[in-house]
Amino acid sequence: MNPDWSARRDLSINQATVPRWSASEVIEGCARAGYAGVGLWRDRVQAEGPGLLAKRARTLGVEVTSLCRGGFFLAPTTEGTKARIEDNLRAVDEAAELGAAVLALVCGPAPGRDLAGARQAVAAAIAELAAYAATAGIALGIEPLHPLYCGDRSVVVTLPQALHMARCAGKGTVGLVLDSYHLWWDPELERNISQAASAVLLVQLADWLAPPPDPLNGRGMLGDGCIDLRAFCRTVRSAGYAGKFEVEIFNPEVWALDPADTLEVVALRYEEHAR
């Protein structure tokens, strides 16, 4: 075990990296490993109750850096879309009870081929949700996903696009979640991050494996891929980001590890490749 735990004060672990743990186990595991925060998922939070988890996190001094996730606003029917927006209101309630710093939004695919129309509809849905979130005191984080996901998970796929949406939706309440995995390819990344600086609510880390072994669950452990994570972290820090780095790795090989070991590996890799 690494005797210097100071790096771990920069880190949060997203539950998707250690799915074998329940939400309370993630909180406890992070406290034991010296991590500053956790990112939790709605289904796992619902299973134990957001109030109980909020208390556990407070007691152990672990910050809930995100609740994952809201979004997926658009359904093929108007009723379907209405139900999804209703579900997003419940996500805001859960984030508030949990004391999560950010509700991360994955801005769903287009129901048909009208990508521009879907983008407008997503912007409208976020504006509606923002009003409710403001009342609940919850920050919404639009997460631009890798363009790989444009067809099935998110019509928001670039940082400038997400920033524009956040600014239109409501200053202060709506910001951004930036993930190295989703953004590293951008030839204008440094400039785009610097322009988004004040809107960045959370930064997530994962590496890009080349070629990607799986579109959904092929994200890489820090240092296993081709992203210059140190430059990425330096860029967001230089832009003024003072929050945690939440590590979110969807990968069966990572999931096969003992979750406590995963936390050790992530901390070591963060020091070696990103800090």
Cα–Cα distance, 179 to 204 (Å, whole number): 4
In the complex, minimum distance from the CB of residue 182 to a copy of itself, in angstroms, rounded to a whole number: 9
Residue with smaller CB distance to a copy of itself, 80 or 213: 213
Nearer to a copy of itself, 113 or 256 (CB): 113
144: cis peptide before it, omega within 30°? no
Closest approach of a copy of itself to the CB of residue 212, in Å = 5
Helix or strand or coil: residue 151?
Answer: coil
Q: CB of residue 229 vs a copy of itself: minimum separation in angstroms?
A: 8
Q: Which residues are at the interface with a copy of itself (CB under 8 A)? A: 109-110, 112-115, 119, 146-148, 150-152, 157-158, 160-161, 184-187, 208-212, 215-216, 225-228
Q: Which H, E and C letters describe 167-205, residue by residue?
A: HHHCCCCEEEEEEHHHHCCCCCHHHHHHHHHHHEEEEEE
At closest approach, how far in Å is the CB of 156 from a copy of itself? 8
By the 8 A CB rule, do 122 and 174 touch? no
Nearer to a copy of itself, 8 or 182 (CB): 182
Q: Are 186 and 179 in contact (CB under 8 A)?
A: no
Nearer to a copy of itself, 151 or 252 (CB): 151
Nearest distance in Å: CB 31, a copy of itself: 33
Give CA–CA dist 29/48, Å, rounded.
Answer: 16
* Between 159 and 254, CB nearer to a copy of itself: 159
